[in-house]
């Protein structure tokens, strides 16, 4: 989780929502890590989890991550949770819970659905307070900035 938190801080420094993710193999070696790149890349699918899973897949030259753990600072959204099913991630460890956008413990609870093709082991709430505080501080700062609204 420390590397995922560092990736989240780096994402915030780039103006991204501070979410970080790390893919670790069965021996505990880091395969890939990433922070959100949505704004930088202009790609709404460039969530930290997606970027890290894609990188891990390419680096390993394998399509599945069954023997891997995905560590992420925020409960994954529906897009990322669905991608984890298709990447066949073996274990998910996440930090802050996300009652609005989460899809693991909240919302659609994707892995609990009968039709779910693959269910990773799930551990939530790891470094929860630090992850949640980083997100709260980020959005508090964004709300304080004046918006450049031009009225003609």
The DSSP call for residue 11 is H
The DSSP call for residue 23 is E
Annotation marks residue 49 as catalytic: yes
Tokens of 148: 């450049």
Active-site residue, selected from the candidate residues 49, 75, 114, 130: 49
The SS3 assignment for 136 reads helix
- What DSSP letter does each residue of 46-111 carry, written as one string? --HHHHHHHHHHHHHT-S--TT-EEEEEE---HHHHHHHHHHT-SEEEEEE--TTT-SSSSTT-GG
| Residues forming the active site | 49
């Amino acid at each position: 989780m420390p590397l995922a938190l560092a990736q989240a801080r780096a994402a915030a420094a780039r103006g991204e929502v501070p979410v970080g993710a790390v893919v670790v193999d069965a021996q505990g070696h880091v395969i890939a890590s990433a922070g959100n790149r949505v704004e930088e890349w202009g790609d709404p699918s460039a969530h930290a989890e997606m970027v890290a899973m894609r990188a891990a897949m390419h680096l390993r030259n394998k399509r599945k991550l069954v023997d891997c753990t995905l560590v992420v600072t925020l409960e994954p959204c529906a897009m990322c949770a669905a991608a984890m099913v298709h990447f066949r991630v073996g274990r998910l460890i996440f930090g802050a819970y996300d009652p609005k956008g989460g899809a693991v413990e909240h919302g659609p609870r994707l892995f609990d659905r009968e039709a779910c093709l693959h269910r990773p082991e799930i551990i939530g709430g790891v470094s929860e307070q630090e992850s949640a505080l980083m997100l709260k501080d980020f959005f508090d700062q964004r709300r304080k900035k004046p918006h450049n609204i031009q009225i003609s």
